[in-house]
Amino acid sequence: EVQLVESGGGLVQPGTSLRLSCAASGFRFDDYAMHWVRQTPGKGLEWVSGISWNSGHIDYADSVKGRFTISRDNARNSLYLEMNSLRTEDMALYYCAKDSRPSIRGGVFDLWGQGTLVTVS
C-alpha cells in the first residue's frame, strides 16, 4: 500500500526538542522530494521544510530556519524533522508529504500522511 505514516509528536515544554519521523511505503522513496507541512486552526496550512531526493537541496520556512532540521534516510525509506527550541507557535498537526517530482521546487504534494500532533505548552 502506498502510504506515509508519521510518528514522534507529543506534548513538550517551550524551549525543548522533538524529532518527528515519517515512514514511507509502496513507492520508490528515493525518487522523490519530501516535505513537512503543518496545520493549525488559526494559520491554516504552512509549508515547513523540503528535501530533495538525494538530500542535495534543502529549504526551510523562515519561521523555523535555524531551529528545525530536515533529513532523510533513503535506505530506510524514512523522513525526519528535528525540532529544537520549540515555541508555542510551533504547536500544530505536522504532515509528511511526498512531492511528485525529485526537486523540492516541484511543489506538488501528491501523497500525505495522517499527521502527528505537536503540542507545546
Partner 1 sequence: DIQMTQSPSSLSASVGDRVTITCQATQDISTSLNWYQQKPGKAPKLLIYDASNLQTGVPARFSGSGSGTEFTFTISSLQPEDFATYYCQQYDWLSPITFGQGTRLEIQ
Q: Give the number of residues in contact with partner 1, rule: CB under 8 A.
A: 21
- Phi then psi for residue 30, to 5 deg, are -80, 10
Stretch that binds partner 1, among 15-23, 69-77, 78-86, 102-110 (CB under 8 A): 102-110
Residue of 34, 56, 6, 51 whose CA lies nearest to 109: 34
Q: Three-state SS for 82?
A: strand
**Per CB under 8 A, 113 contacts partner 1:** yes
Instruction: Annotate each residue in 54-73 with x if it binds partner 1 (CB under 8 A) or - if it does not, as one string.
Output: -----x-xx-----------
**Spatial separation of the C-alpha atoms in residues 82 and 111, rounded to whole Å:** 21
- Positions touching partner 1 (CB under 8 A) are 35, 44-47, 50, 59, 61-62, 95, 100, 105-110, 112-115
